[in-house]
Structure 1
Amino acid sequence: MKKIENSKIFINNHLDLFQCPICKDHFTPIQDYQLVCSNHHSFDLSKKGTVHFLLKQPQNEYNKDMLQSRRLIAEDGLWYPVLKNIVSEVNCKNGVHLDVGCGEGSHLQHLIKLGLEGTNIGFDISKDAIQLASAEYTNAFWCVADLAQSPFASNSYDTIFNILSPSNYKEFDRLLKPGGQVIKVVPSEKYLIEIRELIGKNNTPYSNKDVLNKFYQHYPNADRITVSYDHNLNSEMWEHLLNMTPLSWNIEESNKEQLILAPSEKITIEMEILVGAKD
């Protein structure tokens, strides 16, 4: 079956999970591959089975080359221990899960491999990212959307994954069912410290204190898990890592080439997993 047909079936079976991002009203069953709300705002299904919910195209720095590097470094296992810890924290593994800022889909895909079941939806503001996700991974529904103008229905989601992406806690609370979880992942002090040292960004140690404080303001009883390990790299993966991390985006090209020619054999991953629940 074609991807567009699969997506049509998925949406028609899960209309209750979506709302119009313009008027916030419900959608009617899809006819002719077009998602239409009760006020006649419409969104087309693409041939790849995705839906573009953005009302305007935002600026983002995620080009196809960077996204391909992120996929390759993800499939090399860079974040696998973090993701293993995440899935162990999910209370309702057979529930409805939303990956906020999913990028090219590799995190959600690996969570599914680790035993995440139920209904899985990933979205990102980057059209290129969602095209890559939908081309590679078929066991989740992918869409282009903005958290600030969300196409997702209230009180409908058991789990929100917020992995290395911006948050909107008011929106998270709207989307979650009572007792639903927000699982947020943020870098800690030693995350990619080898790159920080090489490009001279470690004079002032990285701090996630403000991010942690904001999370605890919304979820004062949240759990916090620190995950720290080294990941071995070959020269090819080192180059992909430099290409995908924002740490290297603003350095001069000549300096980046020097970094590529002097690969590190390992990289430090240190992250905080924050688990909060809606009252």
Structure 2
Amino acid sequence: MLYICPLCQSPLTEDLQGYACEKRHRFDRAKEGYVNLLPVQHKGSKDPGDSPEMLQARRQFLDEGHYQPLRDQVAKLLDEHLPTASTAAIVDLGCGEGYYTSAWVNDNREVYGVDVSKFAIKSAAKRYPKIQFSVASGYRLPFASASLSAIIRIYAPSKVEELMRTLCPGGILITVTPAARHLYQFKALIYQDVQLHDEKEEALEGFECLVEQRLHYPLTLTASSATQLLQMTPFAWRASENVWQYLADSKSFSCETDFKITVWRKAE
């Protein structure tokens, strides 16, 4: 088991009820199978992360397959660049309800999903029992140093120092961020002066960039799918009632996806 105690950083040992460290800090396993490793003093708010309504919208949208090309491409890059090991430990950081996480699973991998949203982790653990899910923060990862073969970070915030600490030498990090024209048409509904996404170069100290590529394709959405997608995005907070009504009344809505996918390798 790769988990460490979020309070004292000692290794956690698994038992029938959950996990405990040598200093007797205990973390019980929920009935759905996940463990909460986000102490109250590290939460920042009562219920951090996505709300149940946002998660329901995202699950419905993703289950329709609109972002499957992204999931397939990240899975392909993971297969190509994952360090050779008898058993690889992979973490999906900011895993949400587990849609992407489920694509990394095979018999030679230990797959973990981490998210600050208890609602998301509870939902994910119910649906994907083969994956080990935990409520935790990307700024304080609950994993032992140099224990991970790969980390997948799709839009999730994190601390570079924690990525460096937990990845093994030669371990890989795959990041997905919005490229210039991602969901441009949604922005055009909301803002008078539409700006492209800033594509400034990301520099991660201690990492070598192996691959950088864009994935760009069109979407034609039903009214229901369009409103679900908007609800998944930060634009939702700025969308007026007129925008929501326009989407609800549309027979179809066309927009662009535009992702930047980067593969990084931690220095040996």
- Normalised TM-score (structure 2): 0.89
Alpha-carbon distance, 1:273 to partner? 0.5
Alignment of 1:245 onto 2:233: yes
Alpha-carbon distance, 1:110 to partner? 3.3
Shift in CA distance, 28/58, structure 1 to aligned 2, threshold 3 Å: same
Q: Provide Cα deviations, 1:213-255, integer angstroms capped at 9, x if missing partner.
A: 334x443433201111112312221121122222122333344
Shift in CA distance, 196/26, structure 1 to aligned 2, threshold 3 Å: same
Q: Partner of 2:39 in structure 1?
A: 55
One-letter identity of the residue aligned with 1:104: E
Alignment of 1:163 onto 2:154: yes
One-letter identity of the residue aligned with 1:126: S
One-letter identity of the residue aligned with 1:207: D
Is 2:95–2:114's contact at 8 Å kept on the other side of the alignment?
Answer: yes
Secondary structure of 1:102's partner?
A: coil
Secondary structure of 2:203's partner?
A: helix
Identical-pair percentage = 28
Higher helix fraction (1 or 2): 1
Name structure 2 gaps, 5 residues minimum. Answer: none
Is 2:184–2:196's contact at 8 Å kept on the other side of the alignment?
Answer: no
Alignment of 1:92 onto 2:78: no
Q: Which deviates further from its counterpart, 133-142 or 187-196?
A: 133-142
Q: 1:144 aligns with which of 118, 135, 146?
A: 135
Q: Provide Cα deviations, 1:25-72, integer angstroms capped at 9, x if missing partner.
A: 112341x40311011111111111110111123333511111011111
2-structure distance, mates of 1:201, 1:219:
39
Shift in CA distance, 157/202, structure 1 to aligned 2, threshold 3 Å: farther
Q: 1:276 aligns with which of 259, 264, 267?
A: 264
Q: Partner of 2:12 in structure 1?
A: 27
2-structure distance, mates of 1:102, 1:185:
13
- Trace 1:105-254 onto structure 2 (pairs within 5 A): 105-112=98-105, 118-200=109-191, 203-209=194-200, 212-215=201-204, 217-254=205-242
Q: Provide Cα deviations, 1:98-145, integer angstroms capped at 9, x if missing partner.
A: 000111111112344xx6951110010000011111122222111101
Shift in CA distance, 117/66, structure 1 to aligned 2, threshold 3 Å: farther
Is 1:108–1:122's contact at 8 Å kept on the other side of the alignment?
Answer: yes
Is 2:222–2:250's contact at 8 Å kept on the other side of the alignment?
Answer: no
Alpha-carbon distance, 1:151 to partner? 1.4
- Normalised TM-score (structure 1): 0.85
User: Matched residue pairs, number?
Assistant: 258
Is 1:186–1:208's contact at 8 Å kept on the other side of the alignment?
Answer: no
Q: Partner of 1:261 in structure 2?
A: 249
One-letter identity of the residue aligned with 1:37: C
One-letter identity of the residue aligned with 1:33: Q
Name structure 1 gaps, 5 residues minimum. Answer: 1-14
Secondary structure of 1:138's partner?
A: coil
Is 1:123–1:143's contact at 8 Å kept on the other side of the alignment?
Answer: yes
Q: Provide Cα deviations, 1:136-163, integer angstroms capped at 9, x if missing partner.
A: 2222111101122221111111110000
2-structure distance, mates of 1:119, 1:201:
47
Secondary structure of 2:137's partner?
A: coil
RMSD over aligned Cα atoms? 2.0
Is 2:139–2:158's contact at 8 Å kept on the other side of the alignment?
Answer: no
Alignment of 1:37 onto 2:21: yes
Q: Which deviates further from its counterpart, 95-104 or 72-81?
A: 72-81
2-structure distance, mates of 1:64, 1:160:
25
